[in-house]
């Protein structure tokens, strides 16, 4: 692990079961992980499936996290959370109880067998770009501002506001853990 906290961006999606609860649990697990703290979350969007289209609509969102994990360590954590939440990879782009993708990591550009940063198909996916733009720091230019997917965000609809999601998530934390300290901004 690095000693320096860096900002990274996670895309989250789900289209099976209680979709809101799945997003809330994934955010809770990210925030509870050693070396990670959730800084900001986007509003939730309902999106039409892409690729394999014969499946239910997704709920998608993004989270900005502060992390001391390496990019590969953050990916390993995301894959572990998916597994813990019941994800089994059978059909590419198929239905899933949860999906966590490392979209970007502190300006890092890399390509390995397991991880490409920024995410290789990010500029094509309005369902990832719209929530990512929502959590991007206001004082930094959004690198994908001119992406065609943002100009014509077909199949992406607002689900609920960021404040409603935070209230929903915090309510769930309090039910599970008692009165927790609010570390978010």
Asked if residue 182 belongs to a domain, the reply is no
Asked if residue 128 belongs to a domain, the reply is yes
Asked if residue 1 belongs to a domain, the reply is no
Element (H or E) spanning 185, and its range? none
Write out pLDDT tens, residues 127-143. 999 999 999 999 999 99
Task: Assign 105 a pLDDT band (cuts: 50, 70, 90).
Answer: very high
Asked if residue 137 belongs to a domain, the reply is yes
Asked if residue 184 belongs to a domain, the reply is no
96 is catalytic: yes
Q: How many other CB atoms sit within 10 Å of the CB of residue 167?
A: 12
Which residues sit opposite 86 in a β-bridge? none
The phi and psi torsions of 172 (rounded to 5 degrees) equal: -65, -40
Q: Is the four-CA dihedral 7, 14, 165, 32 of positive or negative sign?
A: negative
Q: What is the pTM of this model?
A: 0.84
Percent helix, strand and coil across the chain, each to the nearest 5: 35, 25, 45
Residue 125 has pLDDT above 80, yes or no: yes
Q: Per the omega criterion (within 30 degrees of 0), is the bond before 118 cis?
A: yes
Residue 179 has pLDDT above 70, yes or no: no
| Percent of the chain whose predicted confidence (pLDDT) is above 90 | 55
Options 24, 28, 40, 87, the catalytic residue: 87
Write out pLDDT tens, residues 143-163. 999 998 898 878 888 886 556
Asked if residue 93 belongs to a domain, the reply is yes
pLDDT the model gives residue 159: 83
Cα-Cα-Cα-Cα dihedral of 125, 113, 110, 154, to 10°? 0
The span from the first CA to the last CA of the chain, in angstroms, equals 24
Options 19, 31, 40, 99, the catalytic residue: 99
Residue 178 has pLDDT above 70, yes or no: no
Write out pLDDT tens, residues 65-75. 999 999 999 99
CATH at residue 146: 3.30.70.560
Closest of 78, 159, 158 to residue 114, by C-alpha: 78
114 is catalytic: no
- Which positions ≥6 away from 13 have C-beta within 8 Å? 47, 58, 59, 60, 61, 96, 98, 99, 101, 127
Task: Assign 183 a pLDDT band (cuts: 50, 70, 90).
Answer: very low
Residue with tokens 């991880």: 115
The phi and psi torsions of 45 (rounded to 5 degrees) equal: -120, 140
Residue 17 has pLDDT above 90, yes or no: no
Task: Assign 182 a pLDDT band (cuts: 50, 70, 90).
Answer: very low
Query: What is the count of structural domains for the chain?
Result: 1
pLDDT the model gives residue 78: 95
Options 24, 28, 40, 96, the catalytic residue: 96
Q: Domain range spanning residue 29?
A: 6-177
Residue 110 has pLDDT above 70, yes or no: yes
140 is catalytic: no
Report, as an integer, the average pLDDT of 102-123. Answer: 93
pLDDT the model gives residue 93: 59
Asked if residue 185 belongs to a domain, the reply is no
Spatial contact of 41 and 61, defined as CB atoms under 8 Å apart:
yes
Rounded CA gap, 23 and 160, in Å? Answer: 13
101 is catalytic: yes
Mean pLDDT over the full length of the chain: 84
Asked if residue 156 belongs to a domain, the reply is yes
Q: Per the omega criterion (within 30 degrees of 0), is the bond before 100 cis?
A: no
Write out pLDDT tens, residues 31-60. 999 999 999 999 999 987 776 666 688 899
């Amino acid at each position: 692990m690095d000693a320096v906290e860096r900002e990274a961006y996670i895309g989250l999606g789900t289209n099976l079961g209680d979709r809101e609860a799945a997003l809330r649990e994934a955010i809770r697990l990210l925030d509870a992980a050693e070396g990670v703290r959730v800084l900001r979350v986007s509003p939730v969007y309902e999106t039409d499936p892409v690729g394999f289209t014969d499946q239910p609509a997704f709920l998608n969102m993004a989270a900005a996290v502060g992390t001391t994990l390496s990019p590969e360590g953050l990916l390993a954590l995301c894959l572990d959370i998916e597994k813990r939440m019941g994800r089994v990879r059978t059909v590419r782009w198929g239905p899933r109880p949860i999906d966590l993708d490392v979209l970007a990591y502190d300006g890092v550009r890399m390509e390995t067998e397991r991880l490409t940063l920024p995410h290789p198909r990010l500029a094509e996916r309005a369902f990832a770009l719209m929530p990512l733009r929502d959590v991007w720091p206001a004082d930094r230019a959004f690198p994908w501002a001119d992406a065609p997917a943002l100009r014509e965000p077909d199949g992406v609809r607002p689900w609920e506001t960021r404040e409603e999601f935070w209230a929903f998530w915090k309510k769930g934390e309090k039910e599970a853990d008692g009165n927790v300290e609010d570390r978010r901004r």
